[in-house]
């Protein structure tokens, strides 16, 4: 009788777990989007100083499930970046209403997947795979530096500053003579610096606090304050 009771309890527990998983309002994906809040420092258990970047956790909702039959490939479209309702555009509102999302989200991105589940539509992303001491790759838009010369942009040495020299911070000769009579592509020249999509790999998660809505990443990450970031599982870590 005791064995039968234990077996029934185990079966009930398994069924309850399955039902909770099926009725869960979250879905686990290999990446999520957040907002860079700034940098600070903490002290670990040994008293060591650890510089960290604070990433604000924001709602991430699956707004569309793309399949091979409808789109030619399989992926999840994730909506984020909530704004006031009056600032939302009608096409975006209609797209979110189709997914039964009641938030005014204004940014959309895709996460490719080998297989997709249609039941994930309208669910929020779970952070269960992003616990402390795990590693992630962070993608953001680097700070724009404006128009810069070759010394600041590429670290050129420059010319003499005295003895009548008229060559100081100029790039110098950039091409050849009659052959090939042109400047090669990718030549290092003055131009726009920064403001590019940059990825830093293998960043350690120091702390994840879903109650207060933040995650701490060790070290610095690309982007300015209040910029959006993509945090994904590290591809070079098992």
Residue 53 lies in a domain: yes
Please indicate, yes or no, whether residues 105 and 40 belong to a single structural domain of this protein.
Answer: no
Q: Report pLDDT digits (tens) over 88-105.
A: 999 999 999 999 999 999
Please indicate, yes or no, whether residues 45 and 144 belong to a single structural domain of this protein.
Answer: yes
Please indicate, yes or no, whether residues 114 and 148 belong to a single structural domain of this protein.
Answer: no
- How far apart are alpha carbons 125 and 204 in whole angstroms? 20
Q: Report pLDDT digits (tens) over 181-196.
A: 899 999 999 999 999 9
Domain count, the chain: 2
pTM of the entire structure? 0.82
Residue 173 lies in a domain: no
Which residue has 């970047």 as its token pair? Answer: 53
3-state secondary structure 145-171: CEEECHHHHHCCCCCCCCCCCCCCCCC
Please indicate, yes or no, whether residues 113 and 216 belong to a single structural domain of this protein.
Answer: no
- How far apart are alpha carbons 8 and 2 in whole angstroms? 10
Residue 11 lies in a domain: no
| DSSP for residue 13 | H
Residue 130 has phi, psi (to 5 degrees) of -125, 55
Please indicate, yes or no, whether residues 151 and 48 belong to a single structural domain of this protein.
Answer: yes
Please indicate, yes or no, whether residues 102 and 193 belong to a single structural domain of this protein.
Answer: no
Share of the chain above pLDDT 90, in %: 82
Please indicate, yes or no, whether residues 149 and 84 belong to a single structural domain of this protein.
Answer: no
| DSSP for residue 144 | P
Antiparallel, parallel or unpaired: β 75-82 and 105-112: antiparallel
């Amino acid at each position: 009788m005791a064995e039968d009771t234990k077996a029934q309890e185990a079966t009930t527990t398994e069924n309850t777990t399955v039902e909770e998983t099926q009725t869960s309002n979250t879905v686990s994906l290999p990446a999520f989007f957040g907002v860079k809040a700034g940098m600070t420092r903490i002290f670990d258990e040994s008293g060591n100083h650890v510089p960290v970047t604070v990433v604000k956790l924001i709602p991430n909702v699956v707004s569309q499930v793309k399949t091979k039959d409808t789109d030619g490939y399989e992926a999840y479209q994730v909506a984020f970046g909530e704004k006031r309702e009056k600032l939302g555009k009608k096409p975006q509102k209609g797209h979110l209403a189709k997914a039964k999302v009641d938030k005014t989200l204004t940014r959309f991105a895709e996460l490719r997947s080998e297989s997709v589940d249609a039941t994930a539509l309208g669910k929020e992303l779970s952070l269960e795979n992003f616990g402390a001491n795990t590693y992630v790759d962070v993608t953001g838009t680097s700070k724009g530096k404006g128009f810069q010369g070759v010394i600041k942009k590429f670290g050129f040495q420059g010319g003499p500053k005295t003895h009548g020299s008229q060559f100081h911070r100029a790039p110098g000769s950039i091409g050849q003579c009659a052959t090939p009579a042109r400047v090669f592509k990718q030549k290092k020249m003055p131009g726009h610096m920064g403001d590019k999509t940059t990825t830093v790999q293998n960043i350690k998660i120091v702390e994840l606090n879903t109650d207060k809505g933040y995650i701490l990443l060790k070290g610095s990450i690309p982007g300015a304050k209040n910029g959006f970031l993509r945090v994904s599982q590290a591809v070079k870590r098992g």
